[in-house]
């Protein structure tokens, strides 16, 4: 009873603020527009810039929405109880907060709160899903189907399974980045234990045909896992329409905090996994370890905001994407959008600039925080494996840049990004021997290049 | 109190973050030496000579699929064999651009035999290239050699055709 009263008070004191505190915020724009407190400039990694770069890398991570932070702060400083403490008020109020967050996450994906397990992030969810399911059903099922363009953590989990003797089919994708449903159908075997296909690709932003894939999995009665970290709060998700058994979600891609994620696990028909971490049996034994109340509260608040603002955000992001693409296309030729143009999330624009090498372009775009693909692979010199899976020419795969647009991106930032990108591409093309050859009418592909 | 904290946090504690990060980021592969940045921002001798000019040697090395193509050209004084001018165009990362920019600076005013002794390790050392970028300096060395070779082939031909003419006469 006491816990109920406390929880009610907690909720009353939190929610009005979540819903009313609506301060427009664009951290990057503020820094670009007013470099007043940045007169000395920033010098890091040999790069000197006058202010903080404008942020267009929302697929890597997003800022925490201030409204989310407001919801989280009390659980850091005053309501710091362990949600698993059963003997006092601190524990009860934390537990209530965690359960509220659980239902907030659940309602964004049309699931029941009982089907949500909190984890440390989407990587952990993917590990539990891929390895956990296969380990649990290892007596009968020996085969996993996934795609070549999955996130590294799914691919790596699959590699791990292969080493243990499981079979993995890596489905190729078409040139638009989508999988061929017939190919999926024909890859299914009697011992297929899991199909794992990501909803929105992190590098190129294409949306896979989830409902159709779900339908096929239902037909063959195979568990369907999807990594929806990039989809949560951006496109409508319905676990029943998609017929997913497992879904990986992340907090920090939806303006929530880093270090928290959620795994959706279907209850009917029930999907079972072998835990990857053993311990005190928290989260129904699937993910032992103390649930981090403030982070979980943040993820819950972020999901609730996303639910209310998805439509508005979507419209805005689409407008900004069009502004960016049209702005660049108006001044430059040889700009290619990687991946399907129809089935894609607008906030992820992956562009190839012909005859300009991506890394040098990134180096020149130091006032814009963008990436050449995923943060995990951008340290290596290899062109993106996702673009290669699409069959993008290797020389074009070296020229890609991903622009990530989000809730707090402003028109001014987009205009500035267009200006800087165009200037830099023009400068580098003047310096590019390939561009010169093309202007002279030489076909680059006809030249015998000496490979290094 | 919370709002105040929020504002402080979202106001981005620039000073603190700047003080604490450089040491941690220095180990990352994306660190560019000041000289690389300088050559990237102000590349020396970007441009092109007429590749049909008999006094010009052109070296084109690398491949678009590998992400690096370097074109280095030298203009040679036929009497003395001295390189009077050089220019480059490069498709590649910042290190590749800087390596070729340095290469053009170094070959200018030198004898052809002399520039053949320029080693990639010297360029790499000058630019403090990390191991993953060493191929950029190798490419620059190759470009110099290719340019000299191209010039010599051209000259050999022109000398040959000249002697042919004399013989015919």
**Which domains does chain B possess?**
34-168 (3.90.1010.10)
pLDDT value of residue B21 = 37
Confidence at residue A363, expressed as pLDDT on a 0 to 100 scale: 86
pLDDT tens-digit readout, A180-214: 999 999 999 999 999 999 999 999 999 999 999 99
pLDDT of residue A89: 97
Q: What is the pLDDT of residue A139?
A: 95
Q: Specify the higher pLDDT residue, A374 or B141.
A: B141
Residue B147's pLDDT band (cuts 50, 70, 90):
very high
Min Cα distance B18 → chain A (Å) is 8
**What pLDDT score was predicted for residue A134?**
97
The helix (run of H) or strand (run of E) holding residue A235 is none
Using CA atoms, how far apart are residues A56 and A26, in angstroms rounded to an integer? Answer: 12
CATH of domain A310-441: 3.90.1150.10
8 Å CB contact between A418 and A325: no
Looking at residues A352-360, what average pLDDT do you find? 90
pLDDT at B122 over 50: yes
The domain spans of chain A are 76-305, 310-441
Q: Which carries the bigger pLDDT value, residue B77 or residue A39?
A: B77
Q: Say if the Cβ atoms of A452 and B46 lie within 8 Å.
A: no
Q: For A18-47, what is each residue's pLDDT tens digit?
A: 444 444 455 444 444 444 444 457 777 666
Cβ of A359 within 8 Å of Cβ of B10? The answer is no
- Distances in Å between the Cα of A285 and the Cα atoms of A114, A117, A218, A279, B43 are 13, 10, 27, 8, 60
Higher pLDDT, A377 or A387: A387
Provide the pLDDT for residue A153: 94
B2–chain A Cβ distance below 8 A for any pair: yes
B116/A contact by beta carbon, under 8 A? no
pLDDT above 90: residue A157: yes
Q: State ipTM.
A: 0.76
Confidence of residue A141 (pLDDT cuts 50, 70, 90): very high
Count, residues in chain A:
452
Buried b (16+ CB within 10 A) or exposed e, A228-266: bbbbbbbbebebeebbbbbbbbbbbbbbbbbbbbbbbbb
| pLDDT score of A29 | 43
CA Rg, chain B, in Å?
23
- For chains A and B, count residue pairs whose Cβ atoms are closer than 8 Å: 127
- For residue A37, the distance in angstroms to the closest alpha carbon of chain B comes to 9
Q: Please name the CATH architecture into which domain A76-305 falls.
A: 3-Layer(aba) Sandwich (3.40)
pLDDT of residue A23: 45
Across the range B67-73, mean pLDDT stands at 91
* Nearest C-alpha neighbor of A154 from the set A201, A190, A218: A201
Pick the residue with more confidence: A94 or A366? A94
A102-122: per-residue pLDDT in tens?
Answer: 999 999 999 999 999 999 999
pLDDT at residue A432 in the model: 93
Query: Would you name the residues of A annotated as active-site residues?
Result: 376
pLDDT digits (tens, 9 = 90+) for A142-154: 999 999 999 999 9
**Res. A155: pLDDT tops 60:** yes
Confidence (pLDDT) at A275: 95
- Interface contact B5, partner A, CB < 8 A: yes
Contacts of A395 in chain B (CB under 8 A): 64-65, 67
Strand partners, A349: A403
Q: What is the mean pLDDT of chain A?
A: 89
Residue A243 near residue A225 (C-beta atoms within 8 A)? no
Percent of chain B with pLDDT over 90: 50
Write down the pLDDT at residue A9: 54
pLDDT at A46: 60
The burial of A363, by beta-carbon neighbours within 10 Å (0-12 exposed, 13-18 middle, 19 or more buried), is given as: buried
The pLDDT mean for chain B works out to: 80
The percentage of chain A sitting over the pLDDT mark of 90, rounded to a whole number, equals 77
| pLDDT (0 to 100) of residue A379 | 46
Measure B63 CA to nearest chain A CA, in Å: 5
């Amino acid at each position: 009873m006491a816990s109920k009263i406390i929880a009610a008070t907690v909720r009353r004191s939190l929610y009005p603020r979540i819903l009313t505190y609506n301060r427009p915020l664009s951290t990057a724009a503020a820094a670009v527009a007013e470099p007043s407190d940045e007169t000395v400039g920033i010098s890091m990694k040999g790069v000197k810039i006058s202010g903080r770069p404008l942020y267009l890398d929302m697929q890597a991570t997003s800022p925490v929405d201030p409204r989310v932070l407001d919801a989280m702060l009390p659980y850091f400083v005053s309501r710091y109880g362990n949600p698993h403490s059963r003997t006092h008020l601190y524990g009860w109020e934390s537990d209530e907060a965690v359960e509220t967050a659980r239902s907030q996450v659940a309602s964004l994906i049309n699931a029941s709160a009982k089907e949500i397990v909190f984890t440390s992030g989407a990587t952990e969810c993917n590990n539990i899903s891929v390895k956990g399911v296969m380990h649990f059903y290892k007596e009968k099922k020996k085969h996993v189907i996934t795609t070549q363009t999955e996130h590294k953590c799914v691919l790596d989990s699959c590699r791990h399974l292969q080493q243990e003797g499981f079979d993995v089919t890596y489905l190729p994708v078409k040139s638009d980045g989508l999988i061929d449903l017939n190919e999926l159908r024909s890859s299914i075997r009697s011992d297929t234990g899991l199909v794992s296909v990501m909803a929105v690709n992190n590098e190129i932003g294409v949306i896979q045909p989830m409902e159709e894939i779900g339908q096929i999995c239902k037909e063959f009665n195979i568990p369907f896992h999807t990594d929806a970290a990039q989809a949560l709060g951006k496109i409508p998700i319905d676990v029943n329409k998609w017929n997913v058994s497992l879904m990986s979600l992340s907090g920090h891609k939806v303006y929530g905090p880093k270090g928290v994620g959620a795994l959706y696990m279907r209850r009917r028909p029930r999907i079972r996994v072998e835990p990857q971490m053993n311990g005190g049996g928290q989260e129904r034994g699937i993910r032992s370890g103390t649930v981090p109340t403030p982070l979980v509260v943040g993820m819950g608040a972020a999901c609730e905001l996303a639910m209310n603002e998805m439509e508005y955000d979507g419209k805005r992001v689409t407008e900004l994407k069009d502004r960016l693409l049209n702005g660049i296309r108006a001044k430059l030729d040889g700009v290619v959008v990687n991946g399907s143009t129809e089935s894609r999330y607008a906030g992820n624009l992956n562009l190839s600039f012909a005859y300009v090498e991506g890394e040098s372009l990134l180096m020149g775009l130091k006032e814009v925080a963008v990436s050449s693909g995923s943060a995990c692979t951008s340290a290596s010199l290899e062109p993106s494996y996702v673009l290669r899976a699409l069959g993008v020419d290797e020389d074009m795969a070296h020229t890609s840049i991903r622009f990530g647009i989000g809730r707090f991106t402003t028109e001014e930032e987009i205009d500035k990004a267009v200006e800087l990108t165009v200037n830099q591409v023009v400068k580098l093309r003047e310096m590019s021997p390939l561009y010169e050859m093309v202007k002279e009418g030489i076909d680059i592909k006809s030249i015998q290049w000496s490979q290094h | 109190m919370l709002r105040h904290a929020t504002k402080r946090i979202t106001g981005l504690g620039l000073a603190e973050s700047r003080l604490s990060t450089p040491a941690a980021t220095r180990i990352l592969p994306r660190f560019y030496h000041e000289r690389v940045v300088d050559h990237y921002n102000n590349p020396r001798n970007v441009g092109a000579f007429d590749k049909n000019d008999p006094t010009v040697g052109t070296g084109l090395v690398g491949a678009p699929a590998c992400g690096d193509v370097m074109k280095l050209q030298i203009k040679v004084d036929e009497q003395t064999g001295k390189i009077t001018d050089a220019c480059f165009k490069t498709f590649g990362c910042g290190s590749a651009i800087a390596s070729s920019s340095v290469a053009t600076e170094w070959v200018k005013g030198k004898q052809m035999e002399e520039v053949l002794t320029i080693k990639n390790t010297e360029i790499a050392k000058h630019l403090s290239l990390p191991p993953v970028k060493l191929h950029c300096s190798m490419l620059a060395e190759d470009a110099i050699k290719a340019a000299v070779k191209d010039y010599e082939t051209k000259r050999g031909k022109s000398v040959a055709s000249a002697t042919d003419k004399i013989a015919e006469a």
